[in-house]
Amino acid sequence: MTTARPLEMPSTTIPQGLEDLLNAKVASLTTLGRDGAPQATLVWFAYNRDLSRFQLSLSDDRLKVRNLIARPKVSLLIFDPADQFRYLDVRGTARTEPDDGFAWADAFITPKYGADVRDFPGANRLVITIEPDNIFSQNGAG
């Protein structure tokens, strides 16, 4: 006989012991396509500590952007490549706004990744802000 795990209340805080994952170099963004099927893409991200929000810089001509504008519910999975049992799964609602003059990318993406998004395809960059509804996590096996 198995016992059911107690229901956990939704949480939007980063659990203690997993803060280092905020410095991860890549995450998987999952959006919902027109047919309702998930579409996952590896993305760069930044955690904006002032807003307590996860943010991305994306070109407005990408499928993932069209998906999240039409269906803003998303998941951002951030994992530890050295330990498959350590992760944050941020589920929430995406909001988009123009990144005028690349100001957000210059402040968050360039310092973290050492890259200038102006060198990437797509002329118009958007800041994608994920408003978390819940952050699921695991910190090691078991």
The residues pairing with 79 across neighbouring beta strands, listed in sequence order, are 87
Nearest C-alpha neighbor of 142 from the set 82, 90, 86: 86
Q: What does the pLDDT read at residue 140?
A: 85
What does DSSP assign to residue 140?
A: S
Residue boundaries of the structural domains of the chain = 20-139
Q: What does the pLDDT read at residue 142?
A: 58
Q: What does the pLDDT read at residue 2?
A: 46
User: What pTM does this model have?
Assistant: 0.88
Q: What is the pLDDT of residues 96-117, one digit of tens each?
A: 999 999 999 999 999 999 988 8
Contact 99/122 with Cβ under 8 angstroms? no
Q: What is the pLDDT of residues 28-82, one digit of tens each?
A: 999 999 999 999 999 999 999 999 999 999 999 999 999 999 999 999 999 999 9
Domain spanning 20-139: which CATH class is it, in words? mainly beta
